[in-house]
């Protein structure tokens, strides 16, 4: 009997035959990276392979001269007896599913993904496989995303309400991916300049260089100190909430854009004025559809919230198990 | 229903009391009286009887969505709130569908009320229709009405303030009228907010005057001799109303209790016409107050038997006189009211009516010594009231203080956790704690308040990673964390595993410095807390 194609070690999802690890969280020589979020792309690996559009993001996170190699979507690379290719996951710019093939056995690791349209990245592409390793961040049937266009409209309307009251609107959002998705989505309504926290500004430049159309932006640091942002929309990472930086925007209305805002308890506990249900992860129907599209007879779920999904898939006669990974812990979504 | 649902959603999102007041006022101004009556009823904590049980709702949800019990159970555990789980799992109404225009009154009286006691089929079919008609927002509140679990984060005080503002009423007048509960009808609501003087019901009690707590060793800013000191009795605060030859006994929660305590009604027979006493309803042992648990035995029974009356005798311990011969005495200084009360009750017209004694107030030291002895008097501490104070209502009185005993504490081990409700619906906040008994852990108390938000989040995280077993929404965790619980008193409870129960247990702090071996043992607790048991 041959070894399993991928196996979970204390470093990550390891392929013994190809001698590489997918999204390792401890040091390995050869790392295959699904996308540039901090819980998936970590420092200290010997060599990195990632989907070509994700290279600038990885370099920004890991350093300009880090050993990162971009592979175009769909192109096959050989690692020993194993073939590896990257396929769009629709999560953020450069995000990929990793397809691993040995003989006629195919495994697909989705990484983080979503099925909704997103103007900032290539859309998710279903990849047939025998074993699907799927994320399960929002794996409960209560998570059924509203139409993202409607959510963008809500964000814009909130900004306009704040502007009418002469208040700043500070929207907290993940700096990589979600922020740029919002900037691109707002373009349908306005061409007014949005202010950015420093952590978002650098990443937004990468998106612009990649040709993503977004509303004009300016880093907050370039605005005169006396301007307190009344009537402005300001994007900032959640870590800036309650900080000295945020104090500048006196009387601001605060918002948070995240899939977690679907649940009232979370929404109220986080203490933002507004919660916008906008996620870069698959919702429950998205997860089920992806399993179905893949045709996989075996599903392994990562990210912790797996109990409902596993029970549901087992009910459909699919072999389903959980994989204990630390994904989703460092960067909340 | 839509306006009420919008109000509830907005209230939940409101960040300041001012904003809540604004929202409530606007609602009361705009709502038809029939709706406003129900809204007032629901906002002040009256709950409609539930129409379906949790298991029924989950079954119907499973049938409507094709999801299995296991999936729904896990989802419910994740959300922590059944009404919300239902609202979110059900598919949204078809795009462009408007929520029905049914009024709150019509929904409650014509649609929901007839379902109580109806067949499961009838209830299910109506609920499925309602679920399909309403979008997620109103659907949540509809479900709260169905499950009987509606809780809104506005107090009675705030709701009444808003009502007063909406109709330009004097808060004192409104409060007084409010003390006599009414059915949620348009007629009663219109009478409540009538700007002209309405005639009060013969039994109408006065709004209770509340004391503020003394904390951190602070004392009232007066010489001790200017303060009337009494025991803070551990019973039920009540007003005994004698008018038109009839007697009413009101609890602070606006419940009429006289039918449950016929001996007190009889004792009030000889009070002068137009008398209102403020005092404490107490269970009575041979020579003094009995424990509160005894009194609850009487409170639980609507119809009282002679045997129960003999087993648990009660007394009314009077400490204030609010009305005499029909005259409202509330504006008078306490010292004068007190003298008239003493005259009225000496000698007592009946043995069940007692006068709460004045305590020796010659110095703060002597009062402190008395307070230290309160537990032996079956009291919770001392009440201190300035001699010149009027009987006020509304906010907590500036010249009345409660000087409670320091609580008892126990170091106990976290055993089970359950998600909270409302704002804490998907956060583990309701805990069961255990103590040692012969090398095993026995559950001692449940507690759910006392930790701040960051600590709760941290604990929640820990609980999710240290779950041993799940029973529905309840998780059994690895015994590893010790907490200091505070509580007011302990009493024997033979049906519990620990053989005792704590009164008002709450979490004091997370004892991260303690290992589970350092937690308390049942044996020593029993010896310390139940010296007679």
Q: Which residue has the higher pLDDT, B67 or B419?
A: B67
Residue of A nearest to B86 (CA): A142
CA B165 to chain centre: 25
Residue B433: predicted pLDDT: 96
Mean pLDDT, chain A, rounded, equals: 94
Residue B533: predicted pLDDT: 41
Choose the closest CB to B70 out of A263, A305, A311: A311
pLDDT (tens digit per residue) in B328-375: 999 999 999 999 999 999 888 888 999 999 999 999 999 999 999 998
**Dist. CA B465–CA A180, nearest whole Å:** 33
Residues of B in contact with A241 (CB under 8 A): none
Tell me, yes or no, if B151 comes closer than 8 A to chain A by beta carbon.
Answer: no
Peptide bond into A228 cis (omega under 30): no
pLDDT band of residue A333 (cuts 50, 70, 90) is very low
Taking residues B143-150, report their average pLDDT: 89
pLDDT (tens digit per residue) in A243-301: 899 999 999 999 999 999 999 888 877 788 999 999 999 999 999 999 999 999 999 99
Share of chain A above pLDDT 70, in %: 98
Q: Is A140 in Cβ contact with B75 (below 8 Å)?
A: yes
Residue B100: predicted pLDDT: 86
Taking residues B268-297, report their average pLDDT: 91
Instruction: Flag whether pLDDT at A331 surpasses 50.
Output: no
Instruction: Flag whether pLDDT at B424 surpasses 70.
Output: no
How many CB pairs below 8 Å do chains A and B form together? 74
Taking residues B103-111, report their average pLDDT: 95
Q: How far is B427 from chain A (nearest CA, A)?
A: 8
Mean pLDDT, chain B, rounded, equals: 90
Q: How many residues are there in chain A? A: 333
Choose the closest CB to A265 out of B15, B91, B424: B424
Residue A330: predicted pLDDT: 42
- Tokens 């959002």 belong to A173
Instruction: Flag whether pLDDT at A322 surpasses 70.
Output: yes
Q: Phi/psi of residue A200, each to 5°?
A: -95, -30
Instruction: Flag whether pLDDT at B399 surpasses 50.
Output: yes
Taking residues A147-162, report their average pLDDT: 96
Residue B41: predicted pLDDT: 94
Residue of A nearest to B73 (CA): A308
CB B164 within 8 A of CB B170: yes
Q: Is A141 in Cβ contact with B74 (below 8 Å)?
A: no
Interface probe, candidates A137, A138, A142, chain B, greatest B C-beta count within 10 A: A142
**Dist. CA B38–CA B36, nearest whole Å:** 5
**Dist. CA B480–CA B414, nearest whole Å:** 7
Tell me, yes or no, if B423 comes closer than 8 A to chain A by beta carbon.
Answer: yes
pLDDT band of residue B423 (cuts 50, 70, 90) is low
Instruction: Flag whether pLDDT at A107 surpasses 70.
Output: yes
Q: Phi/psi of residue B23, each to 5°?
A: -65, -45
Instruction: Flag whether pLDDT at B513 surpasses 80.
Output: yes
Choose the closest CB to A265 out of B75, B91, B423: B423
Residues of B in contact with A307 (CB under 8 A): 74
Q: The whole model's pTM is what?
A: 0.80
Residue B196: predicted pLDDT: 81
A148-152, B322-326, B410-414, B444-448: which has the minimum mean pLDDT? B444-448
Residue B422: predicted pLDDT: 58
Q: Is A142 in Cβ contact with B424 (below 8 Å)?
A: no
Q: How many of the other CB atoms lie within 10 Å of CB of B47?
A: 14
- Tokens 């899939």 belong to A259
Residue B437: predicted pLDDT: 93
Instruction: Flag whether pLDDT at A111 surpasses 80.
Output: yes
Instruction: Flag whether pLDDT at A332 surpasses 60.
Output: no
Residue of A nearest to B453 (CA): A269
Three-state secondary-structure class, residue B514? coil
Tell me, yes or no, if B94 comes closer than 8 A to chain A by beta carbon.
Answer: no
pLDDT (tens digit per residue) in B151-175: 887 888 899 999 999 999 988 889 8
Token pair of A158 as six digits = 């909130």
List residues bridging with B280 in a β-sheet.
B237, B317
Instruction: Flag whether pLDDT at B395 surpasses 80.
Output: no
Taking residues B61-68, report their average pLDDT: 94
Q: Phi/psi of residue A323, each to 5°?
A: -115, 125
ipTM: 0.91
Burial of B331 (0-12, 13-18, 19+ CB in 10 A): exposed
Residue of B nearest to A329 (CA): B461
Q: How many residues are there in chain B? A: 533
pLDDT (tens digit per residue) in B447-501: 986 788 888 888 988 998 898 888 777 899 999 999 999 998 888 888 889 999 9
> In angstroms, what CA-CA distances link A6 with A82, A126, B272?
11, 20, 89
Q: How far is A61 from chain B (nearest CA, A)?
A: 28
Nearest one of B55, B145, B59, B65 to B102, comparing CA atoms: B145
Instruction: Flag whether pLDDT at B179 surpasses 90.
Output: no
CB crowding A108-145: b at 16 or more within 10 Å, else e: bbbbbbbbbebbbbbebeebebbbbbbbbbbbbbbbbb
Residue B200: predicted pLDDT: 83
pLDDT band of residue B231 (cuts 50, 70, 90) is very high
What secondary structure does DSSP assign to B255-300, as a single string?
-B-GGG-HHHHHHGGGSPSSEEEEEEEEEB-SSSB--HHHHHHHHH
Instruction: Flag whether pLDDT at A221 surpasses 70.
Output: yes
Q: How far is A139 from chain B (nearest CA, A)?
A: 9
């Amino acid at each position: 009997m041959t070894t399993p194609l991928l196996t979970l070690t204390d470093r990550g999802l390891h392929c013994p035959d190809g001698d590489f690890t997918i999204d390792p969280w401890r040091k390995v020589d050869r790392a295959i990276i699904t996308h540039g979020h901090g819980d998936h792309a970590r420092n200290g690996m010997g060599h990195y392979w990632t989907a070509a559009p994700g290279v600038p993001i990885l370099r920004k996170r890991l350093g300009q001269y880090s050993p990162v190699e971009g592979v175009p979507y769909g192109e096959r690379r050989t690692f020993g007896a194993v073939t590896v290719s990257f396929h769009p996951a629709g999560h953020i710019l450069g995000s990929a599913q990793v397809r691993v093939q040995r003989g006629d056995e195919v495994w697909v690791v989705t990484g983080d993904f979503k099925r909704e349209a997103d103007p900032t990245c290539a859309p998710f592409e279903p990849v047939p496989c025998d074993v699907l390793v799927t994320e399960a961040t929002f794996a409960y049937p209560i998570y059924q995303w509203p139409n993202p266009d409607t959510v963008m409209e809500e964000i814009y309307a909130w900004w306009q309400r704040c502007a009418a009251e002469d208040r700043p609107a500070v929207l907290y959002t993940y700096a990589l991916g979600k922020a740029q998705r919002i900037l691109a989505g707002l373009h349908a309504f306005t061409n007014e300049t949005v202010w950015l926290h420093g952590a978002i500004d650098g990443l937004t430049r990468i998106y612009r260089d990649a040709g993503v159309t977004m509303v004009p932006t300016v880093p907050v640091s370039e605005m005169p100190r006396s301007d307190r942002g009344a009537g402005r929309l300001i994007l900032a990472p959640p870590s800036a909430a309650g900080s000295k930086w945020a104090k500048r925007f006196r009387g601001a209305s605060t918002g948070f854009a995240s899939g977690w805002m679907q649940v009232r308890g979370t929404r109220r506990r986080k203490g933002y004025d507004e919660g916008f249900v906008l996620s870069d992860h698959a919702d429950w129907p998205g997860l089920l559809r992806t399993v179905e599209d893949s045709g996989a007879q075996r599903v392994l779920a990562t990210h912790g919230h797996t109990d409902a999904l596993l029970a549901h898939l087992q009910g459909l006669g699919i072999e389903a198990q959980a994989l204990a990974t630390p994904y989703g812990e460092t960067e909340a979504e | 229903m839509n306006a009420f649902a919008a109000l509830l959603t907005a209230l939940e999102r409101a960040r300041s009391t001012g904003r809540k007041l604004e929202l409530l006022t606007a609602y009361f101004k705009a709502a038809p009286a029939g709706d406003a009556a129900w809204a007032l009823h629901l906002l002040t904590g009256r709950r409609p009887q539930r129409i379906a049980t949790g298991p029924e709702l989950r079954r119907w949800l499973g049938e409507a969505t094709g999801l299995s019990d296991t999936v729904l159970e896990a989802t419910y555990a994740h959300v922590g709130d059944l009404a919300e789980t239902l609202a979110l799992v059900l598919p949204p109404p078809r795009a462009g569908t408007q929520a029905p225009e049914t009024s709150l009154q019509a929904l409650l009286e014509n649609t929901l009320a007839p379902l109580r006691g109806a067949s499961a089929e009838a209830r299910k079919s109506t609920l499925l229709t309602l679920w399909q008609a309403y979008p997620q927002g109103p659907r949540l509140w509809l479900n709260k009405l169905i499950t009987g679990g509606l809780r809104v984060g506005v107090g009675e005080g705030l709701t009444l303030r808003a009502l007063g503002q909406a109709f330009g009423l004097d808060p004192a007048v409104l409060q007084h009228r409010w003390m006599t509960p009414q059915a949620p009808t348009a007629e009663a609501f219109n009478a409540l907010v009538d700007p002209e003087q309405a005639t009060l019901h013969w039994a109408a009690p006065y709004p209770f005057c509340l004391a503020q707590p003394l904390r951190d060793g602070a004392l009232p800013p007066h010489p001790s001799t200017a303060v009337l000191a009494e025991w803070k009795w551990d019973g039920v605060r009540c007003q005994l109303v004698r008018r038109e030859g009839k007697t009413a006994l009101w609890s602070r929660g606006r419940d009429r209790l006289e039918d449950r305590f016929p001996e007190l009604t009889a004792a009030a027979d000889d009070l002068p016409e137009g008398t209102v006493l403020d005092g404490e309803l107490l269970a009575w042992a041979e020579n003094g107050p009995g424990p509160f648990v005894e009194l609850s035995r009487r409170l639980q029974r609507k119809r009282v038997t002679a045997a129960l009356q003999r087993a648990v005798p009660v007394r009314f311990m009077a400490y204030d006189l609010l009305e005499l011969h029909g005259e409202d005495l509330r504006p008078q200084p306490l010292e004068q009211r007190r003298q008239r009360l003493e005259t009225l009750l000496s000698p007592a017209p009946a043995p069940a009516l007692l006068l709460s004694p004045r305590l020796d107030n010659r110095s703060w030291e002597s009062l402190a010594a008395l307070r230290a002895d309160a537990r032996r008097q079956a009291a919770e501490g001392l009440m201190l009231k300035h001699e010149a104070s009027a009987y006020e209502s509304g906010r907590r009185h500036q010249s009345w203080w409660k000087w409670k005993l320091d609580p008892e504490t126990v170091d106990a081990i976290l055993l089970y956790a359950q998600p909270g409700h409302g704002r804490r619906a998907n956060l583990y906040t309701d805990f069961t704690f255990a103590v040692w008994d012969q090398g095993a852990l026995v559950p001692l108390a449940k507690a759910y308040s006392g930790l701040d938000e960051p600590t709760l989040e941290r604990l929640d995280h820990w609980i999710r990673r240290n779950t041993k077993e799940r029973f529905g929404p309840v998780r059994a965790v690895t015994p590893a964390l010790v907490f200091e619980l505070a509580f007011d008193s302990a009493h024997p409870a033979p049906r519990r595993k620990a053989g005792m129960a704590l009164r008002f247990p709450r979490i004091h702090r997370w004892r991260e410095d303690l290992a589970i071996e350092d937690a308390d043992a049942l044996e020593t607790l029993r010896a310390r807390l139940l010296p007679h048991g």
